[in-house]
Amino acid sequence: MKKTKLTLKDVALQLGVSTATISNAFNRPDQLSKAKREEILSQCQKIGYTGPNKAAQILRKGTSNIVALVLADSISYMVRDPVASKFIQGVSEKLQKHGKHLLLYAGDSETILDVVDFVDGFICYGAPRNTHLISELSTSSKPVVTVDFDIEGKPAINIDNEKGAYEVASHALKTGDNVAIFGLRLIDSPSTCRIYDNPLLDVESSISHRRLDGYIRAAQEKGIDISNEKIWHLPESDRHFARQAAKEVLGSVPRPDVVLCMSDVIALELLQQATDLGIKVPEELRITGFDGIDEADRSRPRLTTVCQASDTKGAEAAKALLNGVEDKRILPFELNIRETV
């Protein structure tokens, strides 16, 4: 018959000292003699008191050592995506090193109110699907760091997407090319399709539109025009959606010479489809990716891409949050010219 969990008060009573002393023994070693402290700690161990109740500490101190990572989408999707998981890796490593804990928060949740009162801060990776969260985050009194998008007045971490896209496209394109683009979340549609003249989504803020800008600038410099029927919209960076687009582009006549892809995942799917169809890459078809995931270096031929160190991004975001950094940062990317152009 186990008795109910010991409280600090119980312990104080048993050891014949005040509650403050017990509390100090655990939290403020400088407030009592080393000897007394060790004595208390060992007594506690003996009677099975493992330290102050954390729930009470959270209420009392107002901090919990928990950081919420708000993802753009459902946790389930984000964990599957190699780019997001690299980011999570970076965050978690940094947090663990500082004794903080990681709460994963879905970007399609209703609200952040469930946790805002007890977490120590938010890292927000990508614009959450439920845009309401953005306004909650922006008025929250807890620290917020955003990544791959921006909230006015909050610190942010980004790369220069326009420049990355421009550079990789410049490498891939030749005058006279017939070029197609596999874009991400360009319009408001749940399925893969060409954008035609559908209204564009978040043109100002989305990283996809910055990448598109870069591609188009590079194309224009080579005198290439890319019409809207050559631009595909994929709702997510997912093989499943890429399959459809790949089928369409590989079956079109005349077939494009180059396909610029806004993520490695979709580029890799296209590459595989092309290979299975006996289309030679890069001789008959050039492909570029974006992100620099590990798998891009394992494909044959190896994928040419823009490598953004997502784990570093995660670590920087965590660092910014922990250090109370206030400014916006642009991280470098690296052009990885490999075998698909």
Partner DNA sequence: CTGTTAGCGCTTTCAT
Partner DNA sequence: ATGAAAGCGCTAACAG
Binding site for DNA (CB under 7 A): 5, 7-9, 16-21, 23-24, 26-28, 30-33, 36, 51-53, 55-57, 59-61
- Specify the residue, 200 or 266, whose C-beta has the smaller distance to a second copy: 266
Binding site partner of 96, from a second copy, DNA, none, Cβ cut-off 5-8 A by kind: a second copy
Which of 37, 86 has the CB closer to a second copy? Answer: 86
C-beta of 104: minimal distance to DNA in Å?
24
Instruction: List all residues 6 or more positions away from 144 whose beta carbon is below 8 Å from its beta carbon.
Output: 121, 122, 123, 124, 137, 138, 151, 154, 155
284 HSE (CA, 13 A, CB side):
10
> What does 32 bind: a second copy, DNA, none (CB cut-off 5 to 8 Å by kind)?
DNA
Q: Shortest distance, CB of residue 135 to DNA, whole angstroms? A: 21
Q: What is the number of other CB atoms lying within 10 angstroms of the CB of residue 141?
A: 6
Task: Determine which helix (DSSP H) or strand (DSSP E) holds 217, and give its type and residue range.
Answer: helix 207-221
Q: Would you say 315 and 340 are in contact if contact means Cβ atoms under 8 Å apart? A: no
Residue 312 interacting entry, from a second copy, DNA, none, C-beta within 5 to 8 Å by type: none
Q: Closest CB to DNA among 57 and 272? A: 57
| Tokens read off for 246 | 């790949």
Q: How far is the CB of 72 from DNA (least distance, A)?
A: 30
Closer to DNA at the Cβ: 120 or 269?
120
Query: Nearest distance from residue 256's CB to DNA, in Å?
Result: 59
Q: If we measure between CA atoms, which residue out of 17, 13, 21 comes closest to residue 37?
A: 21
Which residue type sits at 232? W
Minimum separation from the CB atom of position 28 to DNA (A): 6
Closest distance to DNA from the beta carbon of 141 (Å): 11
DSSP H helices in 48-112: 54-61, 75-80, 82-97
- Nearest-10 Cα torsion for 136, 142, 146, 149: 30
In the complex with a second copy, the residue whose CB is nearer, 77 or 232, is 77
Distance CA 278, CA 265 (A): 20
Q: 3-state SS string over 178-199?
A: CEEEEEECCECCCCCEECCCCC
Q: Which is nearer to DNA, 59 or 203 (CB)?
A: 59
* Contacts with a second copy, residue ranges (CB under 8 A): 5, 50-51, 53-56, 58-59, 62, 64-66, 74-76, 79-80, 85-86, 88-90, 92-93, 96, 99, 101-106, 109, 113-118, 141, 239, 272, 294-295, 298
Identify which of residues 11 and 274 has a Cβ nearer to DNA in the complex. 11
Q: Least CB distance from residue 113 to DNA, whole Å?
A: 11
338 vs 301: CA distance, rounded Å: 8
Tell me which of a second copy, DNA, none is bound by residue 27, counting a contact when its beta carbon lies within the kind-specific cut-off of 5 to 8 angstroms.
DNA
